[in-house]
Amino acid sequence: MTVEAPATYTLTVGEVAAASGVATSAVRFYERHGVVHAERTSGDQRRFDDSAACRIRVAKVAQRVGLTVREIADIFDELPRDPQPQDWGRVAETLIREAEERTAALRAHLDAMRSGSRLCEL
Amino acid sequence: MTVEAPATYTLTVGEVAAASGVATSAVRFYERHGVVHAERTSGDQRRFDDSAACRIRVAKVAQRVGLTVREIADIFDELPRDPQPQDWGRVAETLIREAEERTAALRAHLDAMRSGSRLCEL
DNA sequence: CTCGGCGTTCAACATATGTTGAAGTCAAGC
DNA sequence: GCTTGACTTCAACATATGTTGAACGCCGAG
């Protein structure tokens, strides 16, 4: 049977911030919006698992192609607990597909414009 | 010699809004940020040329791939007065290149992640 | 067990991208 | 030349994406 790889929530907000290259305020922002998840210590401090910094780095790159934090969180939400490589593969495909669809829409619009022989009513 | 095709500023803000599918407030916003340009009547009303609605439609699609209004205005600023088809062609290429570079960055990041065999520290 | 470095929340500020409403002005058709 | 619908500006509001600072709490090393 498959071995369990339970997520262990050990990283502080500062550690995740350092590992992902954003401010601690941004890490808290991403958690509030569901890009990363955390447990709390008995003293109410956040503890993140090892995927947090990676998720944030992916989110930053995805934001550059026009995805909102909400959209990125929704895509990450498709991940099961203890995601396997193929789960991340699906997320990666979804992100790329979104980016390519938007680029294709831009290209289609610009192509239509050019072939219209009335480029921006020149 | 080449025939002049002087831009004629005749369209009101409402006409541009209707033609581009955005609110008049958005048309004014885009003008303030240099996406479109207008002259003023003696009574201080805006008059846009025929390219305004097209520029705004292009801007909306470009925003979807992560370009800011500022970046879009900067790209449009490369257009000469009375732009020719090849001028719009260069703008189109610049927009597409930006979108593709960002998508490539996303893909590269995700590929690096997958090949790292430590996908988001799974 | 204490202390200093992190952590917490919350409110305010900041920038980008707009919308809405008030108060007043313009211009086009009758 | 009047009227009225569309225009003007400006301030306030709204959402997304954060940052900063104050006031206070937690926790691990000594």
What ipTM does the predicted assembly reach?
0.92
What pLDDT, on the 0 to 100 scale, is given for residue A121?
A: 77
Domain enclosing residue B35, as ranges = 13-121
Q: How far is CA B39 from the centre of its chain?
A: 19
CA–CA dist A110, A119 (Å, integer):
9
pLDDT in tens, B58-100: 999 999 999 999 999 999 999 999 999 999 999 999 999 999 9
What pLDDT, on the 0 to 100 scale, is given for residue B122?
A: 65
The CATH number of residue B91's host domain is: 1.10.1660.10
Residue B52 lies in a domain: yes
Residue A7 lies in a domain: no
Tokens 């009101």, residue located: B12
**Inter-chain touch A64–B105, beta carbons under 8 Å:** yes
What pLDDT, on the 0 to 100 scale, is given for residue A3?
A: 60
Residue B38 lies in a domain: yes
Residue A82 lies in a domain: yes
Of A53, A99, A120, the CB nearest to B88: A120
Residue with CA nearest to D5's C1' atom: B14
Residue B71 lies in a domain: yes
Residue A2 lies in a domain: no
Alpha-carbon gap: B54 to the closest alpha carbon of chain A (Å): 5
Residue B1 lies in a domain: no
Tokens 């990666």, residue located: A92
Strand partners, B47: B39
Section A39-65 average pLDDT: 97
Residues of B in contact with A109 (CB under 8 A): 57-58, 61
Q: Chain B neighbours among A 2-21 (CB < 8 Å)?
A: 5
Give the orientation angle of helix A69-76 with respect to helix A51-64, to 10 degrees. Answer: 130
pLDDT in tens, A1-40: 656 567 899 999 999 999 999 999 999 999 999 999 999 9
Question: What's the total number of domains in chain B?
Answer: 1
Alpha-carbon gap: A41 to the closest alpha carbon of chain B (Å): 22
Burial class (CB in 10 A: 0-12, 13-18, 19+), A81: exposed
Residue A53 lies in a domain: yes
